[in-house]
């Protein structure tokens, strides 16, 4: 609008001030056969060309700016879309890892409890097995001692059909020391009269005479007085006892070997299961540590993505605001230029009309 006013100011003196021009100036114009108003027209025409050129240049610059705004807006919108997708992807991976971590933590805790419980149970079972083995070894030792004593007694009885009281007492004492009575009662293989006869013989070994006179009284015991007639029966009892003790020893050793084998087999299975559980637990702990580290990295990546999103969003908003303001300013400039062009064109039309020429010619001629 300011340029339009300037044009009006420039044109008005030429249109309305011609009557005040000097005769010398008009004479020079006439001599050159050119109407004075044409100078004004050419000035306005040059101004029109300049205004049109400025408008075209302004339009070209604005088109480039609009292209820049469109390109950058599209790029930032694409970046924001990609950023949102990245954040969503990170959240999905994070949540998946977190769910797996919870499962692994539960599994690791359960496996640790199981391992600890099994180790405690194994320790108790090992202690029990050692105790049983020790008891079995002690029992076998008793059986070996009893077998040895029985064999010695049988040898004595076979070699000497008539034993003296001292020999009888020594043999009975050996059998008593070997806990033969206890072993016989435990096996329950010798019963009735045979058991009574064996007990009577062993009672001789328990006797502890205080003097030689009292020692002689042992000869009056029922077993001592009837030994000669019972020696063959005693031999049979001892041989049966020896066989039973040997069978008991074989069975005890076989049972102990079977118990140890069963324990070893069970322990091997349990150890294998424990090793497998430890291996799985170690793998789960490694996986759990990896997931924790991964989620820490994902949190950092998410923060970086969100920060970039915030910057891109802020830039896009600022860009749209600036581009919108630029469009408004351009629209105003175009409107002003077009108004200026219209004013110049209108002025040229007025000045370049026949009426204007007649008016100027009359003014010059007067």
- List per-block mean pLDDT (blocks of 10 residues) for the chain, which spans 366 residues: 46 42 42 64 88 91 93 95 96 97 96 92 93 94 84 73 57 64 61 62 52 36 48 74 88 95 94 94 96 97 96 95 93 91 88 70 60
Predicted confidence at residue 241, as pLDDT, reads: 80
For the chain, state the CA radius of gyration: 65
Q: Which residues contact 43 (CB under 8 A, 6 or more apart)?
A: 10
3-class DSSP state for residue 62? helix
The structure tokens listed for 35 are: 């109407």
Give the chain's length: 366
- How many whole angstroms separate alpha carbon 184 and alpha carbon 201? 14
Predicted confidence at residue 32, as pLDDT, reads: 39
- How many whole angstroms separate alpha carbon 174 and alpha carbon 194? 19
Predicted confidence at residue 332, as pLDDT, reads: 93
3-class DSSP state for residue 157? helix
Predicted confidence at residue 13, as pLDDT, reads: 46
Report yes or no: 37 and 356 within 8 Å, Cβ to Cβ: yes
Report yes or no: 316 and 80 within 8 Å, Cβ to Cβ: yes
Report yes or no: 219 and 165 within 8 Å, Cβ to Cβ: yes
The structure tokens listed for 349 are: 């039309």
Q: What distance, in Å, lies between the first and last C-alpha atoms of the chain?
A: 37
Spacing of C-alpha 100 from chain mean position: 6
Which residue in the block uniquely carries the two structure tokens 């059909």?
A: 161
- How many whole angstroms separate alpha carbon 279 and alpha carbon 229? 75
Predicted confidence at residue 110, as pLDDT, reads: 95
Beta strands, E only, the chain = none
What's the whole-model pTM score?
0.56
Predicted confidence at residue 19, as pLDDT, reads: 39
Report yes or no: 340 and 118 within 8 Å, Cβ to Cβ: no
Largest separation between any pair of C-alpha atoms in the chain: 200
Long-range contact pairs involving 114-118 (C-beta distance under 8 Å, separation at least 24):
114/277, 115/274, 115/277, 115/278, 115/281, 118/270, 118/273, 118/274, 118/277
Predicted confidence at residue 70, as pLDDT, reads: 94
Instruction: Report in angstroms the alpha-carbon separations of 164 from 161, 222, 228, 273, 314.
Output: 10, 15, 10, 67, 124
């Amino acid at each position: 609008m300011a340029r339009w006013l300037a044009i009006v100011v420039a044109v008005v003196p030429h249109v309305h001030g011609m009557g005040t021009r000097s005769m010398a100036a008009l004479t020079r114009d006439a001599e050159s056969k050119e109407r004075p108003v044409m100078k004004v027209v050419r000035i306005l025409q040059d101004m029109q060309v300049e205004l049109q050129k400025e408008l075209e240049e302004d339009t070209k610059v604005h088109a480039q700016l609009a292209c820049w705004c469109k390109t950058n807006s599209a790029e930032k919108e694409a970046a924001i879309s990609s950023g949102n997708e990245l954040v969503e992807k990170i959240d999905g991976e994070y949540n998946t890892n977190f769910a797996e971590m919870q499962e692994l933590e539960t599994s690791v805790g359960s496996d640790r409890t199981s391992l600890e419980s099994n180790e405690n149970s194994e320790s108790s079972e090992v202690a029990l097995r050692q105790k049983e083995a020790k008891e079995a070894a002690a029992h076998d030792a008793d059986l070996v001692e009893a077998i040895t004593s029985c064999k010695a007694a049988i040898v004595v009885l076979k070699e000497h059909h008539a034993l003296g009281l001292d020999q009888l007492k020594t043999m009975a004492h050996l059998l008593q020391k070997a806990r033969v009575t206890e072993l016989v009662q435990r096996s329950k293989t010798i019963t009735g009269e045979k058991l009574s006869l064996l007990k009577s013989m062993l009672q001789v070994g328990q006797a502890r005479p205080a003097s030689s006179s009292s020692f002689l009284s042992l000869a009056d015991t029922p077993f001592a007085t009837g030994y000669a007639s019972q020696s063959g029966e005693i031999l049979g009892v001892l041989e049966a006892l020896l066989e039973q003790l040997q069978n008991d020893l074989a069975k005890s050793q076989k049972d102990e070997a079977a118990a140890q084998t069963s324990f070893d087999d069970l322990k091997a299975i349990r150890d294998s299961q424990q090793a497998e559980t430890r291996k799985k637990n170690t793998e789960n702990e490694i996986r759990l540590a990896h997931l924790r580290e991964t989620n820490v990295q994902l949190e950092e990546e998410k923060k970086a993505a969100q920060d970039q999103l915030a910057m891109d969003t802020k830039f896009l908003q600022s860009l749209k605001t600036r581009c919108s303001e630029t469009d408004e300013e351009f629209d105003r400039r175009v409107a002003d230029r077009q108004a200026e062009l219209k004013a110049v064109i209108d002025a040229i039309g007025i000045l370049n009309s026949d009426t204007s020429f007649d008016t100027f010619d009359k003014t010059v001629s007067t």
